[in-house]
Amino acid sequence: RQGTEDPYAEEVLQQVHRLSSKGRQEARIRKAPLGAFFFYGSAVYSYLGRQSTMETNAMYQAHVKELERLGALYVTYDPALRKIVAEAMKNWDAFCELPDEQKVLFSYTPDHKVSGNGYELKREGGIDFKENCHLRMDARDELLRGSALAHPTLGPAFVESALAVNERMTEVARDFSRLVEQEYGLEGFEDDVMRMQSRWLFRFLHYFPVQTEGQEIAAPHVDKGGFTLHLYESDPGVEYYDYKTRAWEELPLAHDQTVMFPGMVLQHQSRCRLRALAHRVMATKNTAVTGRTSAVCFFEFDNARFYDKDGRGTTQSLIKEYGPDYFYDMPFPQFNEFFID
């Protein structure tokens, strides 16, 4: 796509006002398309043309700074990663077609400070009407054995394809964590993220059809982990609670572009300079009838405290009681009380 026109060029030209004067000037001259200032696979690129590391990092540091104001950083997919994710989603769809009584044999291990592994079915009595599966590389053998109980071929095929995503995400995770470390002075943050690669949590979701368009199918919440990368969305419907307007806004995602945003642990690690982004999923006209599938990665990292879910409750329950901006303006000493070692 380098060098091509893009219908969203005007939007980019508004964004470049926040960049360095040199980057701003070059963008105006070359009519950079949408995505010009986003991560791309194994390295940081610009549709303005590949620049020196120093110039590119300066531009991206300016964009990472927007996490404080906007709460999210858009990511343009490496096609190879997108292909691996698509294969995993195909296998997830096939697994979801199995009868419930088979799927639940792939049992979920209980949460302990962090989410467990395995399959969960939530048709009744929960916050969200869905089924989901949690997978980590360091639980591979356990996941393969459990999934084979549900189906001897479909289960392990899904697990293997889902975990194959882990290795391909190395560079985008390293790029993001390095820039956050540099921008916010989080010494050792890049190493802390990469040291925990086998613990990065992949969540595959299937939301069941609901009664009406506009119905919440994922209740408002903030993610309790470090930071989140959206890997796949079958349909629109994700909304975030804007820091400035204090209103729900659409968070548009596409198969060739996705988004990263902070969770509770990164808010804690940055001493509330970065804020966990409140978000929800709403049923569209299509997903109210057909349901919705998605996949995300929750990045855990070393040398961090844990959100005290057992003592404080789910973030869904807190937001329901106190509002979606409950954690946005909370002073760090108060926020710190929500965490345990």
How far is 297 from 227, CA to CA, in rounded Å? 8
Among 4-18, 140-154, 174-188, the range with the most confident prediction by mean pLDDT is 140-154
How far is 312 from 104, CA to CA, in rounded Å? 28
- For residue 49, pLDDT over 80 is answered with no
Mean pLDDT of the chain: 83
Per-residue pLDDT tens digits for 7-16: 434 444 344 3
- Name the more confident of 259 and 110: 259
Q: How far is CA 251 from CA 186, 235, 280, 290, 335, in A?
A: 28, 12, 10, 21, 26
Residue 253: which H helix or E strand, with range? none
Per-residue pLDDT tens digits for 191-244: 999 999 999 999 999 999 998 999 999 999 999 999 999 999 999 999 999 999
Q: Grade residue 126 by pLDDT with cuts at 50, 70 and 90.
A: low
- For residue 17, pLDDT over 50 is answered with no
If one counts every other C-beta atom within 10 angstroms of the C-beta of residue 212, the result is 8
For residue 255, the model assigns a pLDDT of 63
Residue 268 in tokens: 């804690």
Cross-strand partners of 239: 250, 280
For residue 36, the model assigns a pLDDT of 28
For residue 171, the model assigns a pLDDT of 87
Residue 127: which H helix or E strand, with range? none
The percent of residues above 70 in pLDDT, for the chain, comes to: 80
265: which residues sit within 8 A by CB, 6+ positions away? 224, 225, 226, 300, 301, 304, 305, 306, 307
Cβ–Cβ < 8 Å for 108, 134: yes
The burial class, CB within 10 Å (0-12 / 13-18 / 19+), for 54 is exposed
- For residue 70, pLDDT over 70 is answered with yes
Among 17-26, 106-115, 205-214, 245-254, the range with the most confident prediction by mean pLDDT is 205-214
How far is 70 from 275, CA to CA, in rounded Å? 10
For residue 9, the model assigns a pLDDT of 40
pTM (global) more than 0.75: yes
- Name the more confident of 32 and 153: 153
104: which residues sit within 8 A by CB, 6+ positions away? 119, 121, 150
- DSSP strands (E only) in the chain: 39-40, 43-44, 73-76, 118-122, 130-135, 201-207, 216-221, 227-233, 238-241, 248-250, 257-262, 279-282, 292-299, 306-307, 339-340
Q: Give the 3-state secondary structure percentages of the chain, helix then strand then coil, rounded to 5.
A: 40, 20, 40
- For residue 38, pLDDT over 70 is answered with no
Average pLDDT over every residue of 274-289: 96
Residue 179 in tokens: 């820039």
What Rg value do the Cα atoms of the chain yield, rounded?
Answer: 20
- Name the more confident of 68 and 273: 273
If one counts every other C-beta atom within 10 angstroms of the C-beta of residue 341, the result is 6
How far is 106 from 239, CA to CA, in rounded Å? 31
For residue 61, the model assigns a pLDDT of 55
Q: Grade residue 297 by pLDDT with cuts at 50, 70 and 90.
A: very high
The burial class, CB within 10 Å (0-12 / 13-18 / 19+), for 256 is exposed
